Amino acid sequence: MVDYGLAKKAVVRSVRAGRSSPVDVCDAQPYLLRTARHLGEPTERLCPVCERENVTNVTYVYGDSLGRLAGQAKVMSELVEMAHDYDEFRVYVVEVCQGCSWNHLTVSFVLGNGPPDLVGKP
């Protein structure tokens, strides 16, 4: 698991100190905002930039074993089943503020049942 919390804190600190503009970091693409609205999972965490709305988590999956599912947004409950049905794949969780368009990668991790066991197979 990779936690991007320190990178997030640095960006937020930079905005609060005036070294970066909120316009520079509140740049979520329309597709990401739409995905957050329809497939995102609400949180109780306030947006670190506007501090007016709670952020929404959007979870994406990537991996060769996923075929057409690669690159799609999924809800966390779907990941449990996918972890049993697919070989290794990577999961990325992005927090999104639908109010100010803040977005930041929060964590990434690997799921799946691992590559197929080829030991003893021709």
Specify if 117 maps to a domain: no
Specify if 95 maps to a domain: yes
Q: Evaluate if residue 118 carries a pLDDT over 60.
A: no
Q: Residue 3, SS3?
A: strand
Specify if 73 maps to a domain: yes
pLDDT category at 121 given cuts 50, 70, 90 is: very low
Number of domain units in the chain: 1
Specify if 116 maps to a domain: no
Residue 58 near residue 36, CB atoms below 8 Å: yes
Q: Each residue of 3-60: pLDDT tens digit?
A: 999 999 999 999 999 999 999 999 999 999 999 999 999 999 999 999 999 999 999 9
Torsion (CA) 115, 92, 73, 51 in degrees, nearest 10? 170
Q: Each residue of 47-106: pLDDT tens digit?
A: 999 999 999 999 999 999 999 999 999 999 999 999 999 999 999 999 999 999 999 999
Give pLDDT, residue 82: 93
pLDDT category at 116 given cuts 50, 70, 90 is: low
Question: Which structural domain, as residue segments, surrounds residue 52?
Answer: 2-111
Structure pTM?
A: 0.88
Task: Return all residues near 25 (Cβ < 8 A) that are at least 6 apart.
Answer: 11, 15, 49, 102, 104
Specify if 65 maps to a domain: yes
Specify if 120 maps to a domain: no
Q: Residue 34, SS3?
A: helix
Give pLDDT, residue 113: 86
Specify if 79 maps to a domain: yes
Specify if 15 maps to a domain: yes
